[in-house]
Structure 1
């Protein structure tokens, strides 16, 4: 069952689905409107999401490397299954590269300025990974992109965005075209600059901003400590790998001590393996989660900044209206 936060959202989503076009400006070729009988034959997509029926599933999979004379890049298969009437087909499969995901997030920020947009994985190479085309890096990015898409697909507002619809269904994206229609709020936020000065931020938003700043500092401290621990563990592991073979060689020359020396060598090897597993878990499981918190904080700060701009513009317009009212009163 499709979830709409309001009747206007449903109407907007339906209009957006009709306005999609390809890079050359021509409408996206779709099937004829689905009849009620054909809708009944569509896949029923059920999942446990707060006790509600999900009607949109998106997965990012099958990364492929593309090599040309100009550049080398990776594309990912974005597979969609849906029962929403905004889509003309129950299934879609398109290929997208990282910059396409970045384009989508930018459009979501522009058209939904008061919503928290999930963060994307960072564009540049992660710490400890030299080759951005390595299997490890590509798989890590695929998982992060898949998580990003699922978060947007599960959002009751963002999932009905016209650009999200185009991202999932259009074979080619026209990233050069501007927004067809900006909401009045989105338009005001986009063009508000430093010309407006906020008189006073509400207490709850000030507390939220202070909390985000404090949280960022604490996460930074945790990150530095974790990086130091990983560095020390890696250095200690190198020593263990050099230390273990010494006992193995020693055991070969001491027949009477062979058994205990081999036991020590085995213990050192076990410690080395355990340390390697611990270091890997911190690098692959702990640090990425920590970094994702930081990215979410950055997204939240952007939303708060946009809210401040909207309030500043509103206060300025109120002052201008009051000034004109006084002028008319004095003139009479």
Structure 2
């Protein structure tokens, strides 16, 4: 079987040749979720603009990312590679002032920032058009598996892109890779949600037309929101996602795929800090409540759509009887009444179909999307918690090493002393080593605390903008919901007024 053959007997959900944003795909545009696109901390003050320049923001994100992906056990292990002897001034050689703090490639925490040349060139050329469309799903098959790929078209005027028009194919796992990379390297940003990996409600076949169509719509919304976000749009991972050929990108994704070490690191991020500030706890509780409300609204809207569908089914059962009676009736007056009854019933069916379509296509997806966005906010809060837990880990390590130093200085029993010996020279050597390690971890703790403050500030700004936009959009959704229902009942009443007569009553 051809590995790139179209889905058999399945109409293409989205047209292939669409040079501009596909109107058939982003069907949620009427109630679309506008992701905050203003850069965090942007102000009119020139000095503040300089401080919050793209280079500094990307640099800061990289520092936060390194803090989150490097726990203090790894740092402590690296520190063992240094000579523990020497006086306190020896630590100065371990703290150069021109390197990146907590660089994973270094043997100890450093103090300043560094951005490589490639990233600087990338950040210098962030301006210009960037439009991305996900469309034209196709079924691919290999000896090992079958899966759906999606065409990703990019139109851009940005200098960092090799061509102004690009077209590649990506599968769902590739979108997951992009989202995970954005979460890791931009921990303070609110990353748009992806569609659920599980099968959709009432759809068991992941290759069915309806499943593929809905997923294509949601993937298009995800990429559109990422490319519209002022910080995420310049991510080098988005650029890789949009430009690399399928074979090259698969190699990149698999090389970055989570092994045991990565999963272990992710597990450490789930550890909650000792104390969480009340404002963050309150925000987490608020998002939990919002998610439950959205899920409840989604279920209720689905139930209402099911009732509307039952009405449609009843009309389908009723109409053939009316039509057959009308055709066989010989009395003119009764035949006319049956004709009006048929017209009214047909109009009622059309009203029910219109309401059902609007509920399924316009209202229910909005509640589903906001439920997923609440989950994205909670994931952002967990990343903040992980950053705080990292700071607390450093503080705990510093306290522990100071206690060990004090105990060694006083000649108290320690495990290290028992293993290495308790001569005076050995004791002084342990004290010197602990002093160096304490200074190292104090630098690391200071860097982690600063990055936590930056992450919190950015997260607060992102969540505030999201909540404001959500309130406006949800007001629009509920307004449309009310209009749809009012229109349904008005059209239904008008249909029966025009379709009935005194002849029918008599």
Q: TM-score range by the shorter chain?
A: 0.7 to 0.9
Equivalent residue number for residue 207 of structure 1: 282
CA distance in 1, matches of 2:115, 2:244: 19
Distance 1:220 1:139, change over 3 A: closer
Distance 1:221 1:261, change over 3 A: same
Q: Does 1:127 align with 2:201?
A: yes
Equivalent residue number for residue 138 of structure 2: 64
Does the 8 Å CA contact 2:291/2:375 hold for their aligned counterparts? no
Does the 8 Å CA contact 1:113/1:189 hold for their aligned counterparts? no
CA distance in 2, matches of 1:304, 1:83: 35
What is the total number of aligned residue pairs between the two structures? 292
- Note the residue ranges of structure 2 that are not aligned, 5 or more in a row: 1-38, 40-51, 60-113, 411-506
Distance 1:215 1:262, change over 3 A: same
Match of 1:15 among 118, 122, 144: 118
Structure scoring higher RCO (CA < 8 A, sep ≥ 6) equals 2
Distance 1:279 1:114, change over 3 A: same
Does the 8 Å CA contact 1:120/1:145 hold for their aligned counterparts? yes
TM-score, normalised to structure 1, is 0.76
Q: Does 1:107 align with 2:185?
A: no
Does the 8 Å CA contact 1:152/1:159 hold for their aligned counterparts? yes
Q: Does 1:6 align with 2:54?
A: yes
Equivalent residue number for residue 163 of structure 2: 89
Distance 1:84 1:188, change over 3 A: farther
Q: Does 1:272 align with 2:354?
A: no
SS at match of 1:74: strand
CA distance in 1, matches of 2:354, 2:116: 48
Match of 1:192 among 256, 268, 272: 268
Q: Does 1:146 align with 2:220?
A: yes
Does the 8 Å CA contact 1:60/1:76 hold for their aligned counterparts? yes
* More helix by percentage: 2
User: For the pair shown, which has the larger CA radius of gyration, 1 or 2?
Assistant: 2
SS at match of 1:116: coil
CA distance in 1, matches of 2:148, 2:356: 28
SS at match of 1:176: helix
Moved more, 321-330 or 117-126: 321-330
Equivalent residue number for residue 33 of structure 1: none
CA distance in 2, matches of 1:131, 1:319: 51
The Cα shift of 1:123 comes to 3.1
Distance 1:63 1:310, change over 3 A: same
Equivalent residue number for residue 176 of structure 1: 254
Equivalent residue number for residue 259 of structure 1: 336
TM-score, normalised to structure 2, is 0.51
- Note the residue ranges of structure 1 that are not aligned, 5 or more in a row: 20-38, 40-44, 46-52, 180-185
Q: Does 1:306 align with 2:383?
A: yes
